[in-house]
Structure 1
């Protein structure tokens, strides 16, 4: 058996401290004198060890060193081991620690992420220096109404994920809440653990790297309820078949099952579920094809209408569009439906990227992917807004049609109990009341002039119904929204939709994740952006050969205007403008001129916002203004919403004395 260098060093220090070598020399001299007086110096090792044992020296050394262990290994416990200068990452494993925040009456799945490997896109990236800003990976998890997020780690070929998450495995039925779920109950929980990997670059822009549904129930069929699967993550969209990396994961049940299920039972259950899912999807596809044939028989021109029954998610899995909408309650994070519309509006808008030409790539993201990335396409915004409006008790639908120049577009519609129809534009938060035009009215009858940008409508849907427009014209202006009239709106079978889209269905998407409160401090962020803008303005005026004199009082007086702008976006009500104008008139002396430029952003990048502002002639005039007693002001107000979404209002202003 070889002794580790650390152990050899500790033993050497301990022997030196006890002066064992001096004692051995004394025993050796005494043994030579007393027991070998015949002059022979051929002393065997066994004779010397016997003499040492008789004096008790060997026992003293062993007691002092405290050797413990079994037949093949011994570990020194009296003296701590020195730090090892090099640790191989492949051999490094986190300390086994049992989670402490456990309710003894519940059962949990302890999920540990022990690092990643084979993220080949980042193979050439060098390790960041301490304090250096770099792109990062963040892993988001969702399981049965529980959301988690890992610590950001630098992007690398082998990202150093070292996180653990405690997922509660609870029953759906309310009456069994106090009873711990047994193996059979756990096997019936078909919800996967959704994992979404987000990349954040140095400018704060986010990119969806991968979205994966992990089947966790394999842990039910292993001894001691512990397994170490590897999770292979694939790209999104057109790259869904390409591996982007591998995560090393450890799954463990707490407490362990008293009676472990056999792996054959677990595999059989999973196989039966896959077969059942495939059969339900096949039956729905057969029904959808038959329904579509019937729809085309009504009028051949229906083939050109935007009737969208299926949509691809970020993994290019075809799902019925009704799966993407579900009533979503925001708890106390959002108070009104209009505030919900404002929240959806401030989430970033970005079309799905496509490699090469060929037009737009359609991609309807799952809710966790959309919220984790904090931006998405028009359809993602509409699905979220419709879900929130349903949660607020409204009758809401997603509308699929076109807007100006025939561009495909989606928006949300709500139906009031009195029959009034309201359109909600998810990208701007604007609302429009629909007043249909009757083409049979005589020419002298004044027809309402539509204010909305929508041109045609092909279908509407929510989580329970799907209706296709079968009126002679698909123009929004002429459309009659009597949704119960099957001569105008052809419905799909509610039972067919429920078979594949109902909550808990194994063919459906998992339940929507709950919304998370903002992690951003509005006041701190407002001050930070404002300071950065002051520096940028001063540098710009310096380049123009102009001095910059700031007036803090004028900057402060701009705050009520920004608050009023945001309140108007949320409620549609304008208030506080009179007080703001009165304060400005008092702050600007006679003979002076005041100019102001407000602008709105949904990001917090000061340099990017300043570049956008300078493209406005009015803002450029204010920033580069020359005059007597010239004073500059800027005010920033950050309004936070769930999911750390922000509405950022900026107002530049100046006042100066007019010179004839």
Structure 2
């Protein structure tokens, strides 16, 4: 079996580092000089390879090397890796953490999360045991913490799914302290949760969002051993957000361990203070939003029928300001242009939130990680993702809430150019439309352009720091003037009020945006493999 060149060079480097650690080269030089001095006179300096190997064996150096190699093999034999999207390789054993010197910086702090299995997934209580090689429905666990994304290997759906994997996270600190190892006090101030998303994939490759959970990992800071175990109860999503979906058993461990841990009361008090502060911010914003809405209705009575949406429910049934669903998202070199970003978003499937029984549409605005992991969502999910990407490209982008043909509620994206032009972006199809206003006061014989876009009314627009409601006499898109800085046409919310509840870290119910990660598929290798299979 031959290794690829890069793997061979990596293996050589690991062997070299291991031999350097044992100082094997210094020992060999000592044996060589002693052998030349003892076994040969000054006139004879010829030493055969067999003589030199016998000298190494007599002094026990070869035995020491072989024992060390066997010990390393035993330590690695019990390891099992997961499937990371990006960042540090996944590990499943403390010994593996100590052995993987290439992936660990001894001057930085790490959080090791180990999933020990699931239980009480009662929906799959009657699930038959899959036969070897049989295609069956699977569970996959996705995780995101501070710009690091991982996912587990798929396991068969069962009442007690065999989810057993480990994940190693960097605990970064920002600013001037970024080069120092994070201590307990510094880590206590890090409020970013670990976002867990459980996805079910059925036999036809259709994905379903099972649960979305925000895990506060800071309980490990009060553990004397630097390790703690948790039973995480995962709740359902949408209309089932009050019903448990199952339980995951999780171990949390800090590496290296803390020399001084915090008391349980300090950690509990810090979390309580944060919750109180967040609740107060949300209460103040709700009071402001009610007053703002009353002022909006006083402008004209017809404003009550416009599609002005200030709050929306996420997959966990939590009401959040719509501005919190949009952030500036930079795709780096993964997406080269805004049009390519629109194409990427349109390739994610469109599916409305499932609902049991009839009635109106069940609205569910998903968090970005849940949307990306499931690979499909409603028009609101597509629009907020596209708006975030366009903001990352430096465009003046907004999500527009309104209706399309037959009065169906819909969302899309609009961007404003420096010349005042307005472009509509349909996130489901990647099509773009240039907005041209129809003048209702023009003479009857004047030519009016026929709109090509499918949108009928526009009630409000928003992005990560602005929310504006349409207060023009008509909310028809054809007649709207999208001069968003004109207060007589668009009533704006206070940016300070929005910032208090929509900024990153402003509330615990707002997980930070996960980074986009490149495909794990190597296109050239996949192309060659496909060609070989077609030839066969």
Count of residues paired in the alignment? 441
Matches within 5 A, 1:62-81: none
CA distance in structure 2 between the aligned counterparts of 1:531 and 1:299, rounded to whole angstroms = 69
- Please give the alpha-carbon distance, in whole angstroms, between the structure 2 residues aligned to 1:126 and 1:530: 38
> Pairwise mapping of residues 124-273 of structure 1 onto structure 2 (< 5 A)?
124-173=126-175, 175-273=176-274
Q: Deviations over 1:418-472 (max 9, x none)?
A: 1000000000000000010111111122111100000000000000000000000
Indicate how the Cα distance of structure 1 residues 118 and 97 shifts in structure 2: closer, same or farther if over 3 A, else same: farther
- The answer to whether the Cα contact below 8 Å between 1:323 and 1:508 also exists between their aligned partners in 2 is no
5+ residue gaps, structure 2, are 1-73, 75-91
Note the residue ranges of structure 1 that are not aligned, 5 or more in a row: 1-79, 81-93, 535-551, 553-660
Which runs of structure 2 are paired with 1:510-659 in the superposition (5 Å)?
510-520=511-521
**Aligned mates of 2:356, 2:527 — CA distance in 1:** 37
Q: Looking at CA atoms only, which structure, 1 or 2, has the larger radius of gyration? A: 1
1:160 deviation in Å?
0.5
**TM-score, normalised via structure 2 length:** 0.80
Query: Equivalent residue for 2:79?
Result: none
State the distance in 1 between where 2:122 and 2:508 align. 33
Counterpart of 1:108 in structure 2 is 110
Moved over 4 A (4+): 520-532
Deviations 1:230-274 (A, max 9, x none): 110010001011111100100000111111000000000000011
| SS of residue matched to 2:252 | strand
1:333 matched residue in structure 2:
334
Q: Write out per-residue CA displacement over residues 156-185 of structure 1, whole angstroms, 9 at most, x where no aligned residue.
A: 111111110111111122x22211111111
Which residue does the alignment assign to 1:499? Answer: 500
Aligned residues of 2:368 and 2:514 also touching (Cα < 8 A): yes
Deviates more, 1:438-447 or 1:296-305: 438-447
Contact 2:327 2:513 (C-alpha < 8 Å) held by counterparts: yes
Please give the root-mean-square deviation of Cα atoms over the aligned residues, in Å: 2.0
- CA shift digits 1:47-88 (9 cap, x unpaired): xxxxxxxxxxxxxxxxxxxxxxxxxxxxxxxxx9xxxxxxxx
Question: Where do residues 36-47 of structure 1 align in structure 2 (5 Å cutoff)?
Answer: none
SS of the counterpart of 2:192?
Answer: coil
Measure, in 1, the Cα distance between the counterparts of 2:393 and 2:312: 26
Do 1:171 and 1:181's aligned partners in 2 also have CA atoms closer than 8 Å?
A: yes
Alpha-carbon distance in 2 for matches of 1:518, 1:251: 29
1:501 and 1:508 in contact (8 A); partners too:
no
The residue that corresponds to 1:282 in the other structure is 283
Q: TM-score, normalised by structure 1?
A: 0.65
* Per-residue Cα deviation, 1:292-345 (whole angstroms, up to 9, x for no partner): 000011111111110000000000100000000001011111000000000000
Q: In structure 2, what is the Cα distance between the partners aligned to 1:529 and 1:299?
A: 64
CA distance in 2, matches of 1:168, 1:506: 22
User: Does the Cα contact within 8 Å between 2:191 and 2:508 map onto a contact in 1?
Assistant: no
Q: Secondary structure in 2 aligned to 1:343?
A: helix
Distance 1:527 1:502, change over 3 A: same
The separation in 1 between residues aligned to 2:342 and 2:318, in whole angstroms, is 28
Asked whether the 8 Å contact 2:138–2:201 carries over to 1, the reply is yes
In the other structure, the counterpart of 2:56 is none
Partner SS for 2:369: helix
For 2:49, the equivalent position in structure 1 comes to: none
